[in-house]
């Protein structure tokens, strides 16, 4: 991977560049997706899942700026999962309503 600070190429398993840049921090990492817009859509369709999705969505950014990249990625996955669950359930409910 390329060091964002000095441009030197380091082995992927390197923890720290020769210039002192620490690859283990969130610096140089992209913030995981917050799923904020899908979470809002989920909120309109399925309130409980939408609330959970918004909670996890806000945790992504808070954890990322606090330097907790693993926590931010976990919250991002959970936010995505809540959106998927909420949208799937409302699709099933819509189908049942449509068919009945």
- Residue 34: other Cβ atoms inside 10 A: 22
Q: Indicate the residue among 8 and 44 with the shorter CB distance to Zn ion.
A: 8
* Min separation Cβ 2 and Zn ion, Å: 9
Residues that bind Zn ion (CB under 5 A): 3, 5-6, 8, 17, 19, 21
- Residue 79: other Cβ atoms inside 10 A: 27
Q: Indicate the residue among 28 and 48 with the shorter CB distance to Zn ion.
A: 28
Distance CA 84, CA 56 (A): 13
> Is residue 63 within 8 Å of residue 52, measured between CB atoms?
no
* Min separation Cβ 28 and Zn ion, Å: 10
Q: Indicate the residue among 21 and 36 with the shorter CB distance to Zn ion.
A: 21
């Amino acid at each position: 991977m390329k060091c964002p600070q000095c441009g030197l190429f380091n082995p992927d398993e390197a923890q720290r560049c020769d210039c002192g840049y620490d690859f283990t921090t969130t610096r140089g990492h992209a913030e995981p997706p917050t799923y904020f817009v899908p979470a809002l859509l989920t909120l309109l369709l399925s309130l409980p899942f939408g609330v959970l999705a918004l909670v996890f969505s806000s945790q992504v950014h808070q954890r990322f700026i606090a330097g907790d990249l693993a926590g931010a990625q976990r919250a991002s996955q959970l936010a995505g999962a809540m959106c998927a669950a909420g949208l799937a359930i409302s699709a099933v409910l819509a189908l049942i309503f449509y068919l009945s």
